[in-house]
Structure 1
Amino acid sequence: MSDNKLVYIKRVGTNDGESRIMAMLNASPLDGDPRNHTVPILDTFQDDEDSSISYIVMPFLRLTHNPPFTNVGEIVDFADQFLEGLAFMHEHCVAHRDCSEKNLMMDATAMYPLGFHPVKHTFLPDCNTPARSSIIPRSVAGVRYYFVDFGISSFIPPDAPSKLVLGLDGRDQDVPELSDEDPYDPFKVDIFTIGNVFRRLFYDDFSNMEFLAPLIESMTREDPAQRPTAAEALRQWTAIRKRISIFSLLWRLKRRNEGRIASVVADAKDLPHVSRQWLNWLIGRR
């Protein structure tokens, strides 16, 4: 690329379902909506020798947990962006159908002012210098999260005779209704999958994620009909979020397997940092 930025190039079928859905979500005016968390398309081109093959050029993104989350507020921002993006996608008749951890990614450019190596992610572009000393925390730098890989996604317009699909594909095989024989609602699959991401990435690992419990419970219900829509899940989350104090947002993540003494020591180390951030927040409100 002329600006020397890292990109990812994906081979797709020319004008296949994935290409059409991504193009629609990247077209004006949807591309300018801040709720849209579809991975941006930077360019497309057709294969010189085989017109049935095309390529989509996208920003080079990182997995959301690399580098690891450090405080509660970072996870709240993750939930904000992906629930907002899911509601937007469903509003525009697209069911992703595979929005598990590896298809949720982030643009971490702001966290790495000196860049990073595309293969050895923990190093600078020279592949020799560790990047850790130059990383800016995501809570300071700000990151943008994106849905990627629309390979099995479905566009189902409001006037479609059926809004049900078939298929066993998808990384998250915990979804109970997946079937090749019994049609199911793909939008409710997305709800379950995102709820399961919240459970596996955060709730199961960290003890100060209890506020996620009611949202996870509703999103991962066995019966798809009992799960909320994406818009309802976003409203439920917004109500939960309002009850999380600024002090809690700034606090470090506590692993469930932390020993009591280790936890007290870690809390003592974190308290001065959290207190400074809290005071800065109070001053900023005046």
Structure 2
Amino acid sequence: MSIDEQLDVDAPAPKSEELQWFETFWRDHYEWLKDKGYLLRPRYRPGWVASWIGTNNLPFGCEDAQVQPLFEYNLDAIREADGNPVMIRRADPSSISAELEIARLLSSLPADQRNHCVPIHEVMTLPEPDEEGRNSIVVMPFLVPWDRPDFETVGEVVDFCTQIFEGLQYIHSLNIAHNDAKNTNIMMDWFPLYPEPPHSILRSERMDWSGPSRPRNRTLYPIKYYFIDWNLSRQFDLSTGTPPRLPPGYGGDQSVPEFKKDEYCDPFPVDVYCLGNVIRERFISGDSAMQFSPRRNVEFLEELIADMTQEEPTKRPKMDEVVSRFEKIRKKLRWWKLRSRVSNRTVPLIFHLLCSPIHWAVQFGYIVRRIPAIPDYKRNKAYSEA
């Protein structure tokens, strides 16, 4: 049965005290994963009974009621060896995609500071495959969405763009097209920003449900950004000089001009468009459907992003050019620009101005403490201790 059939809007909503169809796998493998050193949340223990049954508590307020139906093959866990959270995934078999092959390749290459591909900690083989042949469990770092908490300064935006531009440049340098470089396939580490790991579903709460989760800011606690999700990715042989061609419509960003023309497309310019569109929607133009508002003080991005999202794919810059151009843009930004607020442009300017004295008082404090305007995760002691 397909996921569309499982999530039929006409079907009755599942009760939160009952495991949904995709959750039973995790319950059935709870003990196997525990033997391997990974502890799942209480909801997936064999014989689990909802904690709110027989009480006056509402399910929403209980940790064991939290379910994410959009990612049926993913689940968070605790690695018992060190108590750290991880993300585990039932990877696609080779008959479905090259996900596992590409993930292993990207994790096995020599160190490169441009590598922003989510690493693999471990691959475990299940005792039995499912009907699709899915028999591998991949263990990866626990990551959180990249755009919360909000960006406060231009320098924080510059750091984000630097990392993801270099990250896609690195992927393309290996002749790999990501093929789904959308907003939700970029994520970030949790540990510099959060004193305690946030819950994987309700990030306003701590993972252990012991209280609220309060993130810090990116300037004081720089983080590393990652690309995830390789189940549409492909590595191509470009030695023939003939650009690869894929049928249109793949991936989550359906605004790609080639898709609208219903024509076969070169996946590398599509990647460039999709990444440019992430920045365009998140910072420049906004996207009401995603509740993204345009931001102030990011006009320096507009020309480059406009080129990355051109209608004609042959006119879009390759990622080497994107990185080179952005480095020149970055060098021209003065200290006061880098420390400026990237406030919501839909909020009246008067409110932006009223908040500015507080913002600049904080920024001058950072200057006195010699905290760089552009965060650099490589200087963050948390990474050397992780």
CA distance in 2, matches of 1:191, 1:96: 10
CA distance in 2, matches of 1:214, 1:57: 39
Match of 1:206 in 2: 295
State the Cα deviation string for residues 158-180 of structure 1 (Å, max 9, x = none). Answer: 22565222231111111111279
Match of 1:124 in 2: 206
Pair 1:4 & 2:86 matched: no
Match of 1:194 in 2: 275
Match of 1:50 in 2: 129
Q: How far did 1:75 drift?
A: 1.0
CA distance in 1, matches of 2:362, 2:353: 15
CA distance in 1, matches of 2:329, 2:336: 15
- Within a 5 Å distance, the mapping from 1:61-80 to structure 2 comes to 61-80=143-162
Match of 1:138 in 2: 218
Contact kept? 2:120, 2:140, Cα under 8 Å:
yes
CA distance in 1, matches of 2:322, 2:282: 18
State the Cα deviation string for residues 226-262 of structure 1 (Å, max 9, x = none). Answer: 0000100111111111111122212222211121321
CA distance in 2, matches of 1:253, 1:268: 14
Q: SS where residue 258 of structure 2 aligns?
A: coil
CA distance in 2, matches of 1:85, 1:283: 22
Question: CA separation of 1:246/1:125 partners in 2, compared to 1, >3 Å: closer, same or farther?
Answer: same
Q: Whose helix fraction is larger, Structure 1's or Structure 2's? A: 1
Pair 1:255 & 2:325 matched: no
- Within a 5 Å distance, the mapping from 1:259-274 to structure 2 comes to 259-274=348-363
Contact kept? 1:168, 1:180, Cα under 8 Å:
no
Pair 1:13 & 2:92 matched: yes
Q: SS where residue 112 of structure 1 aligns?
A: coil
Q: How far did 1:283 drift?
A: 11
Pair 1:276 & 2:358 matched: no
TM-score normalised by length of structure 2: 0.69
Match of 2:189 in 1: 107
State the Cα deviation string for residues 171-206 of structure 1 (Å, max 9, x = none). Answer: 111111127963211000011011111110111210
TM-score normalised by length of structure 1: 0.91
For residue 163 of structure 1, the aligned residue among 239, 244, 252 is 244
Letter in structure 2 aligned against 1:141 = Y
Match of 1:219 in 2: 308
Higher relative contact order (CA 8 A, sep 6+): 1
Stretch of structure 1 that moved more, 211-220 or 159-168: 159-168
Letter in structure 2 aligned against 1:3 = D
Letter in structure 1 aligned against 2:183 = E
Contact kept? 1:94, 1:156, Cα under 8 Å:
yes
Unaligned regions of 5+ residues in structure 1, if any?
A: none
Contact kept? 1:117, 1:124, Cα under 8 Å:
yes
Contact kept? 2:85, 2:197, Cα under 8 Å:
no
For residue 328 of structure 2, the aligned residue among 235, 239, 251 is 239
CA RMSD of aligned residues (A): 2.1
Question: CA separation of 1:13/1:259 partners in 2, compared to 1, >3 Å: closer, same or farther?
Answer: closer
Letter in structure 1 aligned against 2:118 = V
Contact kept? 2:142, 2:190, Cα under 8 Å:
no
Match of 1:97 in 2: 179
Question: CA separation of 1:143/1:252 partners in 2, compared to 1, >3 Å: closer, same or farther?
Answer: same
Stretch of structure 1 that moved more, 217-226 or 107-116: 107-116
CA distance in 1, matches of 2:98, 2:372: 51
Contact kept? 1:111, 1:142, Cα under 8 Å:
yes
For residue 28 of structure 1, the aligned residue among 94, 105, 109 is 109
CA distance in 2, matches of 1:180, 1:203: 25
CA distance in 2, matches of 1:283, 1:252: 15
Q: SS where residue 13 of structure 1 aligns?
A: coil
Match of 2:167 in 1: 85
CA distance in 2, matches of 1:211, 1:228: 17
Aligned residues: 280
